[in-house]
Amino acid sequence: MINIGYYPGCALHGSSNDYEKSVRSSLFHLGVSLNEIDDWICCGASGAHMINKKLGTALPLRNLAIAERDGVKELLAPCPLCSMELLKAKQKIAADESLRKEMSDVVELPLNGTCDVLNLVQIFQKVGFNKIIEQATVKLDNFKPACYYGCLMVRPPRIVQFDDPEHPSSMETLLTGLGAEPVEWNYKTECCGAGLTLADGATVERLVGKILKNAKDHGANCMVAACPMCIVNLDMKQSATEKRLGETLNLPVYSLSDLVGIALGLSKKELAIDKHFVKA
């Protein structure tokens, strides 16, 4: 087994527990053991920095300090917002020794910046795309996904340093190898407005509508993402968006781990796909 530290963040133990089940199931099948760090706390995204800048830095650093204390060298944060906050805080203390010492006192643990933070795609890369393709038992030839990275998986590029910030292709590479036919489309890194889901539903529906309609217009028969907030937004808001647009979209929304899991022969129940709003 490959042992990886695991930071679920608030979403994966709450509104996105189906995503967590999918991630755990697919990775376990690939020989990856996720070890949840003990006594983790919210990373502070996205409100903490608006209240207190030091709080916004200390919250993610507390989680990195816990990981370091427990000897974790690599930490999976499946939520791109969480991983970005963790990486941003890590870069801050790497660039400022006095801040590192101050934050060590604040979080009450030593901070050395030795723990690497990875997103879900990077974990699949660590396993090896070729290995995943070799283990696949089901060809994804019925899937024409629009791969949706959202606004935070590849940005800000100087912080996340992952894929091409304007035209990423890592998800397409893996899914093509598994037999799917990812479509070329225009909105793969546009924001879906997830942060406004409760505050401004009308704006979110317009953003989601543009994303889903563009995907469908380019031949997609489903969406695939690796962000819990994006997945929930595109799935849950799709019905309201269809009413706003006056047309049926019917685009099932999968996590990347869902499609990998399907290719590995896992069931809808094992991946919690049966919990989605748009039937898949």
- Single out the residue of 149, 136, 103 nearest to residue 262, CA to CA: 136
**Quick check: 51 pLDDT over 90?**
no
- Residue 179, Cβ density class (10 Å: 0-12 exposed, 13-18 middle, ≥19 buried): middle
In a domain, 127, yes or no: no
Range of the domain at 136: 132-275
For the chain, how many structural domains are there in total? 2
155 shares its domain with 103: no
Q: Is 214 left (phi over 0), alpha (psi -120 to 50) or beta?
A: alpha
Rounded Cα–Cα distance for residues 104 and 58 (Å): 9
Q: How far from each other are the two terminal CA atoms of the chain, in whole angstroms?
A: 31
Average pLDDT, the chain: 95
Rounded Cα–Cα distance for residues 4 and 138 (Å): 26
Q: What is the CATH number of the domain that holds 219?
A: 3.40.50.11810
pLDDT in tens, 235-253: 999 999 999 999 999 999 9
Rounded Cα–Cα distance for residues 49 and 36 (Å): 25
- Single out the residue of 218, 212, 279, 223 nearest to residue 249, CA to CA: 212
**Quick check: 4 pLDDT over 90?**
yes
Q: In what order do the strands lie in the sheet with 253-255?
A: 145-148, 222-225, 253-255
pLDDT in tens, 153-180: 999 999 999 999 999 999 999 999 999 9
74 shares its domain with 160: no
